[in-house]
Structure 1
């Protein structure tokens, strides 16, 4: 019995290791093309906004795919879903690698996203399905390590690759994910899932809602917003009246789940402001190149990667609320300190960025754990898929809102009395307001979940 337990535990560790490696590749693939957009626009003679569709098209399909794979995991085994997704990811990478026209490059990125979106969806399901509740925090902490390392390595590898060889080599990096396929085939169980019909109409309406929402966030077109509202209304009608809806509306009658999604949307959106606003700040105020920006941001990401599992253990040992408060404290310290030193030495920014990025990592673990604890077994797949989709949409919303604020340029209003550089007021104000928003949301979290160690499923 002891030997069997040791074998099972070793399998868990190997599975987590493979999952982290795959996540690193997936997150890098999500971020590293941002760095080479100027090179791509120059080669294909495009404006930066046109070249930006390389990122936008990927984001749209990625968000839709995450919840779709979550839904499919209720019917199909994780082993088969990962096999399918990784193969599609590889096909898209090959298409992008050999693309000679811009439209071919877009097709390659869309196909990539259709496959790669299986990875974040499954990474949230594996800890819930393969680990007991008392070990789940550590598993989610390990998963967060993959996110942190991918975020740190993406800009650096993109900068080195594009300057040493060519931006097309980034598609070769994506192909490394195929190395993990034999391991998944070996260590994931052949689960016997319940057969069920797939609501393609409901899935299409949800896809339309998410796609138009993300387009509205990036373009701000009133007609896109109107179309998205129509898709959303039709989706709601579909899930309430279809015999086997894409998403069972009963999951939203689970009050703890619905509230945890709302909190997660805001908290994660605030957290994901960090990787967006920091490069903008270092580029426009400190005049740093992409390579040096990556160097400044690396220490924080590496610390988050090293301490990610510790965050998970805190949730297991002291309760998830403790990790939420720890993450919130780190975020508040990071935001206030960064708000005070914007425009100063990049060394100071690198130091205080450690608090913010570690808080971001811990908050992702805490929110994942919070949501997972509210779900019944039959809703795990679609519930965690929805969480992954919400995470992605909140990150896109955060980026869009902050981007719009930065587009207005400098500000004459100073909210932080410590900051004396008028050229940095807009960045300082945003960071300070983010700290205030964290305080508001952690208070709301305490009112809903903070009085108990776990969250009961209803």
Structure 2
């Protein structure tokens, strides 16, 4: 009876986490849809407006590690409460924003608080579920991520078209409703780590990311040099600090390091869906924010439905099976998009299904692989680093894509089958992403061959 009660508690906890993940992901995807409107309203360049997404991701990435480390030290329920309250404050700043800089400030404050969610989404399955059932738990959270990705553009389109994009910040406040439930269903266990958090290391890493991404958007060698110096100082800090922000010893775990690399590359590739596709549909096809959201909706919904199946497959047939399925879907999706970019939105809608399913399945496979490679006492910080690397890759990909879109007069085709010269930049970007998928597949094969054979 007691076992049944514990299992029911776990089931309720993972459902509450799924609801919170839906709202958290919506908060990211909604602003991707609204980005063209914000760009026009404040007369911004694409690389400037991209910082509404990139700035959010940089802070989100650092915060995911910070909260991951704190989760090894404090009660998870208390961290969630504090994080979501900071998120709410940022939402209010963004809602009342009179100019671009206040919008950016609101988004960064949102990211500071919302970064508690990615660490939580990995820590709860790792702490509360056995390795044999963890795939199902990760399947539920990945489905929630896909569903948030699906409905985010629809809601953003409706709000942007008929009210104002400012109200997207109000919708994000719904996540506050999950706080009481987390406080009921999470236990009172505190982490065993009592070391102080290395704020200097966190500052150096955040500075490295910010300056290197700024160097890309501004085309500045000076900013790139500052970023490299900060990165070298960060590496030095890892060596000399007693308890560095990121433990160098973690990277001696080959499965963990390889999983980080493959996951980061896959996440960067995955940003071709939520960031690039709305710009294509609105900029080339001339669709409204609402219609572009509707085009993206079916693929994301199907990925959400199949996410639970992907989790079960990871438990039954192994992470390798799910990973190769994901990479194949990714390649088919981006390969065809590089051909039909700028063609009928109905064709794009169908092809997006492959890309969305690939994105969801790769999250399940790699989240499961990396979580199993970590001892319990390093689960918090390890999964925090895992999520941080994904978001760093996303920020980098967003920045590079926004700069690539500013290229004028490009007349060469990476994919010779590309059909539409008006969307050549988009076609070339999708083609590059397809090539990267082949490289990621090769890296995965080299590092996880045994796992694939054994089905673990």
1:47 aligns with 2:44: yes
* Aligned 8 A contact 1:415 1:432 in 2: yes
Question: Relative to structure 1, is the Cα distance of residues 349 and 96 closer, same or farther in structure 2, using a 3 angstrom cutoff?
Answer: closer
Contact 1:125 1:380 in 2 (8 A): yes
1:96 maps to what in 2?
A: 94
Shift of 1:46: 5.3
Equivalent in the alignment of 2:388? 389
- Structure 2 counterpart of 1:204: 203
Q: Against the structure 1 CA distance between its residues 35 and 431, is the aligned structure 2 distance closer, same or farther, given a 3 Å change threshold?
A: closer
Distance in 2 (CA, whole Å) between partners of 1:47 and 1:90 is 26
Q: Which moved more, 1:137-146 or 1:335-344?
A: 335-344
Partner of 1:292: 291
Structure-1 residue corresponding to 2:439: 440
Distance, in Å, in 1 between the alignment partners of 2:366 and 2:26 is 22
Q: Hey, what's the Cα distance between the residues in 2 that align with 1:311 and 1:75?
A: 32
**Matching residue of 2:366:** 367
Aligned to 2:269: 270
Give secondary structure in 2 for the equivalent of 1:36.
helix
Contact 2:323/2:361 (<8 A) preserved: yes
Runs of 4+ in 1 over 6 A off after TM superposition: 454-457
Is there any run of 5+ residues in structure 1 with no aligned partner, and where?
Answer: none
Task: Give, in whole Å, the separation in 1 of the partners of 2:286 and 2:215.
Answer: 31
Distance 1:34 1:145 in 2: 20
- Aligned residue in 2 for 1:183: 181
How many Å separate the matches in 1 of 2:312 and 2:80?
27
In the alignment, the residues of structure 1 paired with residue 149 and residue 142 of structure 2 have an alpha-carbon distance, to the nearest angstrom, of 11
Q: 1:170 & 1:339 partners in 2: Cα distance?
A: 31
The 8 Å contact of residues 29 and 274 in structure 2, kept in 1 or not, is answered as no
Deviation at 1:252, TM superposition (A): 1.4
Mapping 1:325-340, distance limit 5 Å: 325-340=324-339
* SS of 1:168 mapped into structure 2: helix
The answer to whether the 8 A contact 1:320-1:454 is kept is no
**Contact 1:268–1:395 (CA under 8 A) maintained in structure 2:** yes
1:13 equivalent in structure 2:
11
**1:136 and 2:157 are equivalent in the alignment:** no
Shift of the 414–101 alpha-carbon distance from structure 1 to 2, 3 Å rule, reads closer
Q: Is the 8 A contact 1:449 1:455 kept in 2?
A: no
Once the two structures are superposed, residues 202-251 of structure 1 have per-residue CA deviations (whole angstroms, 9 ceiling, x without a partner) of 22222222332333344332222212211111111111111222222111
Q: 109, 115, 119: which is aligned to 1:111? A: 109
Distance in structure 1 (CA, Å) of the matches to 2:403 and 2:37: 24
Q: Deviations over 1:52-100 (max 9, x none)?
A: 5544432332222111111111111211110110111112222333445
Deviations 1:135-158 (A, max 9, x none): 111111211122212222222212
> Do the aligned residues in 2 keep the contact of 1:323 with 1:363 (CA within 8 Å)?
yes
Asked if 1 retains the 8 angstrom alpha-carbon contact of 2:86 and 2:113, the reply is yes
Q: Distance in 1 between matches of 2:166 and 2:428?
A: 38
Q: Does 1:126 align with 2:103?
A: no
Q: CA RMSD in A?
A: 2.5
CA gap of 1:396–1:107, structure 2 versus 1, over 3 A, is: closer
Cα distance in 2 for partners of 1:332, 1:106 equals: 34
Offset, 1:38: 5.6
Number of residues of Structure 1 aligned to a counterpart in Structure 2: 454
Distance 1:171 1:179 in 2: 15
The 5-angstrom pairing of residues 243-258 of structure 1 reads 243-258=242-257
Q: Hey, what does 2:355 align to over in structure 1?
A: 356
**1:451 aligns to what SS in structure 2?**
helix
Q: Kindly report which structure 2 residues correspond to 1:405-416, keeping only aligned pairs within 5 A, or say none.
A: 405-409=404-408, 411-416=410-415
* CA displacement, residues 254-286 of structure 1 (integer Å, 9 cap, x when unaligned): 122112211222122122222223223223332
- What is the Cα deviation at residue 311 of structure 1? 0.8
Give, in angstroms, the shift of residue 315 of structure 1.
Answer: 0.8
Please say if residues 140 and 368 of structure 1, whose CA atoms lie closer than 8 Å, have aligned partners that are also in contact.
Answer: yes
In structure 2, C-alpha distance between the alignment counterparts of 1:47 and 1:285, rounded to whole Å: 18
Cα distance, 1:41 vs. partner?
Answer: 6.1
Greater RCO, CA 8 A, separation 6+: 2
Which stretch shifts more, 322-331 or 29-38? 29-38
Do the aligned partners of 1:411 and 1:422 also contact (CA within 8 Å) in 2? no
Structure-2 residue corresponding to 1:79: 77
The TM-score with structure 2 as length reference comes to 0.92
Maintained 8 Å contact 1:410/1:425 = no
Gaps of 5+ in 2: none
How far did 1:355 drift? 0.9
CA distance in 2, matches of 1:107, 1:422: 38
